[in-house]
Structure 1
Amino acid sequence: MLRRLSLAIAVASAFSGTLQAADVPLSARTDLVTVYQDAVKNNADLAAARADLEATKELVPQARSGLLPQISGGASTSDTRTKLDEPSVTSTRSGIVYQANLSQPIFRADRWFQLKAAQATSEQASLRFSATSQNLILQTAESYFAVLRAQDNLAATKAEEAAFKRQLDQSNERFDVGLSDKTDVLEAQASFDNARAARIIAERNVEDTFQALTTLTNRDYNSLEGILHTLPVVVPAPNDAKAWVDTAAQQNLNLQASNYAVDAAEETLRQRKAGHAPTVDAVASYQKGDNDALGFSNTAASPVHYGSDVEQRSIGLQLNIPIYSGGLTSSLAREAYQRLNQVEQQREGLRRSVVQDTRNYHRAVNTDVEQVKARRQSIISNQSAVEATEIGYQVGTRNIVDVLDAQRQLYGTVRDYNNARYDYILDNLRLKQAAGTLSPADLEALATFLKPDYNPDKDFLPPDLAKTESQLKKGAHTEY
């Protein structure tokens, strides 16, 4: 008599072969929060964004310097020889001159607007850095759950391969005793070969996702804590797309940064237009040196010499009225106007994109909730379908192709269920990022549903849908 194939046998076979992660001590497994902390410390994109922020902040003191006093000092030495033909006189002047100059802008409209633009640009950079930091939260979750998704997919693929291998063995047994023909064996062999190829690809995907996590954090990980099937799968709160869009309009970090980009462009336009305005500076100077070096001589023919070094002080106002600069100022103003129009259009495009993303992710989360429920029920339905098909095959109303298709459908449903679970988690985080509310606390909340001893080969199915070990063994020895 031949053994009766069941889902229990296939899952039992999956239990017997564990992933490398299952052999890793619990203390060596890494949780989501630890991975995020590693990313904050070592992520190259975040470090680059931090450097950009610090560099951009320097625009403010640079612009402010144009409104503050400018002081310079120096010394010079020269040796000047003057010769006149009529009357024939030769004079020589030499010496060292020390000087200091002070200039204090009194009215410089262009520099004031430049400072305002720099301050807006600095605020924009701060928000860009915050957006990069927030995006790192999502990147960490995406990379972390990509590993878990790949591991669960591998576990389901291994269980499918085990099921097809057992079906192949039983087909060979049935063929040997004359209960089936060679076609059944070939069909089972083809399904097993395809499952084996899928398992090889799934193993590579696990390694690829671990490598992506290493790229993100510059750390190597042997195993990660898995997510429990008891994670609540609920609709967004509030479950109102407009409320989420309104929040995004106020709190989305990239959108806020674009507002400051417009402010900076407006101030830059004012700065360029102010190039037509007059400027007023208070100036003061001081010089001390030999009277010859300072030039205190009437003429070379009748030089006048002071008896000692000479000091010269001056203070006053300097007015400059721009009249024509070859059209440069007008051209710079036109350029600034177009730059302003550019960033305004970019902001509008970003606003529309944020609204679209927020609405899409809100719909996605609601869809994911229904998907998880539907896929879970589909597993139950497909389990029953597999068992019914096997019974039909036993009594001759179904053929081997029907059995293989039912098994293939079952494991496809298992993968769809796990994909729906991870899509739900990530779409929730993406919705919060679009709304500007995503924070490390969201990762900490998810971490409370991590299972330190998660074994993908055993836990890729919800516990209530998996058979107990005794039932599995019993099912594995059921006779036809």
Structure 2
Amino acid sequence: MSVCKVLAVCVVCSFSFISLASNQPSLYFLYEKALDSSPKFQVSKMEEAIAKSAQAVTDAGYYPTVSVQAKIGRQYQNVIRSETTVYPIEENDYRANNTSLNVNQVIYDGALFAESKVAELDVTSAQLQLKAEQQALAYEIAEAYVELLKSYDNLAYVGALQLASEAELKKAAKQRERGINNRVEFTEVKARYAETQAQVADAEQQKRDAEDTIVMLTGVVANGIQPISGQFNYASVLQADLTTYIQSALQSNPAIRKAIVDRQSAEQSIDTESGRYEPNVTFQIQANRDDSGGSLFGGATKIDTVSASVLLNVPIYSGGAGSASIMRASQELQRSSFELEQKKREVMRDVRRAYSRIQTQQSRIESMSLSVEAYATALQAKQTGSRSGVFTQVDVLNAKKDLSFAQKDLAEAKYDLILSFFELKKALGELSAEDLIRINT
């Protein structure tokens, strides 16, 4: 195989020029599938729904409660001794029915008011957790997507190198038959070919592993995927300095915002526990009907009674439960404060790491681009020199190998830069569907 054909194979499989069928899934398509099939993301969605239901339960405490009670019974009385004629000594057996309607409305309950605020904050916390999980899933599927593209490239590179080695081996075998080269050179060419066979086997395993990861995340068997767009501008990924990115992340990262909300919820929980041991006021209306078939006074009665009252409940002593529950709520507030600080440090670390990696990959891309050009020139020179006997076939194979690995390293640097870009967007809390769509357009 000529050097032009070998280079053509390498260029076709290179990062920016992969040509795949239009029906192959894009990164955004796989992301949508992952949203539908990810148990962890579905758990976060259910936690949001549960928090909203809990808020509805808490808010119900502001509304009146209405209850109806009905009692149907009979009453037996036996007057054994009486010193008044009002209560004759006799036995009575009569119906004793009662129906009551009770309406209660909370006027003031400090615990209920604080608990309502906690429920509202819990909904916000669940929504932020859902957003964080959504962005984490987007990054995870992007990472798997890039790993699969890497495996395709790697397989193509080592496959092209294997074809070149096979061609050189056949050429060396013919030359040996004619006595042009020696046994040592033929053995070295044969060893290079065996080495490429092992590399192809490793690349195929890498591809299978990457495909399995896609299936695990999305439930989709990816028979090829769409490539990264050649329009992606690697040089303009960073739009601000590191300090600006860190400040932005501290304000917008959903994990930090959730930790802030959780701390506010812990503060309200102290008010909730304190409110349980404060006076509370309830307005009550009660309508009652007693329907009796008899009494000590004799004769049946039916009495309707309507009453309205304001009930004041003042807790006095609960065995120390009040102070203990307030202490526990205070400790939970301290814990949430530490968790907030820890989350801030983690996010700042993630921003610094992603920022540094982007700069590193940009430098790698620039250096590896020059390296590819240099190795291509060296290969051409060695192929020309091999015809005049200046270089051996082993030298040519080594040059092809160097060029192939340089092209592979350049492609991987571009892939790694894109992953670092996603990592930075995730740390900022800004990783969106538009970023995923942008990769393939």
TM-score bucket of the superposed structures, by smaller chain: 0.7 to 0.9
Equivalent-residue separation in structure 1 for 2:10 and 2:400 (angstroms): 14
2:319 match: secondary structure: coil
Deviations 1:142-196 (A, max 9, x none): 3333322221111111112122222322332333333433333333333322321
Match of 2:370 among 377, 385, 390: 377
Q: Is the 8 A contact 2:10 2:404 kept in 1?
A: no
Alpha-carbon distance change, 239 to 163 in structure 1, aligned in 2, over 3 angstroms: farther
Deviations 1:20-73 (A, max 9, x none): xx997x442333343344444554443332222112111212111223222111
Deviates more, 1:169-178 or 1:236-245: 169-178
Deviations 1:3-29 (A, max 9, x none): xx8643533567999xxxx997x4423
Match of 1:330 among 308, 323, 347: 323
Equivalent-residue separation in structure 2 for 1:278 and 1:152 (angstroms): 72
Deviates more, 1:116-125 or 1:249-258: 249-258
Deviations 1:79-131 (A, max 9, x none): 33244544564333433321111222222111111001111111111111222
Alpha-carbon distance change, 249 to 14 in structure 1, aligned in 2, over 3 angstroms: closer
Deviates more, 1:35-44 or 1:272-281: 35-44
Alpha-carbon distance change, 171 to 275 in structure 1, aligned in 2, over 3 angstroms: same
Equivalent-residue separation in structure 2 for 1:230 and 1:192 (angstroms): 36
The AA in structure 2 aligned to 1:363 is S
1:422, CA displacement in angstroms? 0.9
The AA in structure 2 aligned to 1:60 is Q
Paired residue for 2:422? Answer: 429
Match of 2:60 among 65, 70, 77: 65
Match of 1:54 among 49, 57, 60: 49
- Higher RCO structure (Cα 8 Å, ≥6 apart): 1
Equivalent-residue separation in structure 1 for 2:9 and 2:25 (angstroms): 27
Alpha-carbon distance change, 105 to 23 in structure 1, aligned in 2, over 3 angstroms: closer
Equivalent-residue separation in structure 1 for 2:113 and 2:344 (angstroms): 30
Deviations 1:410-435 (A, max 9, x none): 32222211111111112112211211
Q: Is the 8 A contact 1:171 1:180 kept in 2?
A: yes
Paired residue for 2:305? Answer: 312
Kindly indicate whether residue 70 of structure 2 is the aligned counterpart of residue 75 of structure 1: yes
Alpha-carbon distance change, 104 to 12 in structure 1, aligned in 2, over 3 angstroms: closer
Paired residue for 2:152? Answer: 151
Equivalent-residue separation in structure 2 for 1:232 and 1:30 (angstroms): 22
Alpha-carbon distance change, 320 to 402 in structure 1, aligned in 2, over 3 angstroms: same
Paired residue for 1:136? Answer: 137
Unaligned 5+ segments in structure 2 are 83-88
Q: Is the 8 A contact 2:107 2:282 kept in 1?
A: yes
2:71 match: secondary structure: strand
Equivalent-residue separation in structure 2 for 1:332 and 1:83 (angstroms): 52
Unaligned 5+ segments in structure 1 are 298-302, 449-480
Deviations 1:372-423 (A, max 9, x none): 1111211122223334455666666666665554433332222211111111
Kindly indicate whether residue 3 of structure 2 is the aligned counterpart of residue 10 of structure 1: no
* TM-score after normalising by structure 2: 0.88
Match of 1:364 among 350, 357, 360: 357
Alpha-carbon distance change, 399 to 77 in structure 1, aligned in 2, over 3 angstroms: same
Identity %: 23
Equivalent-residue separation in structure 1 for 2:132 and 2:78 (angstroms): 73
Equivalent-residue separation in structure 1 for 2:22 and 2:77 (angstroms): 91
Deviates more, 1:125-134 or 1:153-162: 125-134
The AA in structure 2 aligned to 1:8 is C
Alpha-carbon distance change, 23 to 380 in structure 1, aligned in 2, over 3 angstroms: closer
Paired residue for 2:226? Answer: 225
What are the within-5 Å matches in structure 2 for residues 27-176 of structure 1?
27-83=22-78, 85-86=80-81, 89-176=90-177
Equivalent-residue separation in structure 2 for 1:400 and 1:271 (angstroms): 82
Equivalent-residue separation in structure 2 for 1:36 and 1:424 (angstroms): 20
Equivalent-residue separation in structure 2 for 1:430 and 1:387 (angstroms): 39
Alpha-carbon distance change, 15 to 357 in structure 1, aligned in 2, over 3 angstroms: closer
Paired residue for 2:344? Answer: 351
Equivalent-residue separation in structure 1 for 2:341 and 2:182 (angstroms): 68
RMSD of aligned alpha carbons: 2.9
Paired residue for 2:86? Answer: none
Paired residue for 1:451? Answer: none
